[in-house]
Amino acid sequence: MKTIDELLSEGVTGKRVFVRADLNVPLDGTTITDDGRIRAVVPTVKALADAGARVIVASHLGRPKGAPDPAFSLAPAAARLGELLGAEVAFAEDTVGTAAESTVAGLADGRVAVIENLRFNAGETSKDDAERAAFADKLAALADVYVGDGFGAVHRKHASVYDLPKKLPHYAGYLIATEVGVLKKLTDDVKRPYVVALGGAKVSDKLAVIDQLLGKADRLLIGGGMAYTFLKAKGYEVGISLLQEDQIPAVEEYMERAEKNGVELVLPVDVLVSSEFPDLKTKAPANPTTVAADAIPADQEGLDIGPETRKLYASKLADAATVFWNGPMGVFEHPDYAEGTKAVAQALVDAPGFTVVGGGDSAAAVRTLGFDENAFGHISTGGGASLEYLEGKTLPGLAALED
């Protein structure tokens, strides 16, 4: 995989460089609530602009249905990128139409433009190879060189991620190079003890990665909504907690395999419960009750790990040489259910080894809860991509850059 440093050494002055970024940031209307993914691509964009390239930044945002939708415009992200670069960023109101063509044609050396949401075009996400390739041809006409730096999208076989790099000289940006380097530390020659903390809502989203980790990790700490399927598999009452009953046989098999392989699989010993899901808009007090994990009332829902579990998980992370954390421990968006996620984040900060926050809601939680990002070894920009890499899957966007 050739890197941006090789591209810069070849010279980029006057070249049109297409940077596939990941500007898929959360929005409240037009207000960006977490700009972490934009900040992550700044080093690549700035290096290219400083070297005299004409930089065309492209990304998706949200899930528009293959047609323009103002709710998913990249205009706020373009404005924020300009603020972070300290320079004006042009914005094209389409992707491969007249606005994009004229905006790119008007770029001077060292200037940057953002084109509109790639998913406003059906060809970006099409499962038809010919339709995707046709859209990639139109994108390729805008540029001379391709730089892949949208790690959060490399697990998608999309036109701008998979097809486009095959049509232009292609290089990995700084972010992708960093992300891949970090993930190799979690899969190749791992320093031990290796502890993985997994949370989030659905156990089905994590089964494949658990399957792989049962042969690699020393300890697995389970929290979030997915924990209740594990507790049910142990024969516990879980009340009205989130439960994927159809996944219980797989969970039972994994628990048996963990014991056979000598992997310590740690489940909550107590949880916070309530009969009502909290109001995440008003943040009205929820007044939860703490109960033992095997004593959840039939009319109650588990919404966070309890205080004894927080202490237990912190102790299991205290000597870790390598940590990977993906998924919150509870409904961290509400202050009454944020303590479990906060405790795991703090345990990562305190851990002596290399700590990785695996993107998605975990990365959002770290920022929302006020942690210093520099206190962690690495905060990934791609939760789904990180998990699929750890599952051992071939990621289309990385495969295209390696050709």
Active site residues: 37, 202, 360, 384
Beta carbons of 20 and 140 less than 8 angstroms apart? no
Q: Which residue has the tokens 């004894």?
A: 308
Contact 151, 381 (CB under 8 A): yes
3-state DSSP helix/strand/coil percent for the chain, to nearest 5? 45, 15, 40
> 318: closest CA among 355, 292, 293?
355
Euclidean distance between CA atoms 306 and 234, whole angstroms? 18
CB count within 10 Å of CB 68 equals 15
Task: Looking at 289-359, list the stretches that DSSP marks H as alpha helix, in order from N- to C-terminal side.
Answer: 307-317, 339-350
How far separated are the first and last CA of the chain, in Å rounded?
Answer: 7
Q: In what order do the strands lie in the sheet with 270-274?
A: 289-292, 270-274, 301-305
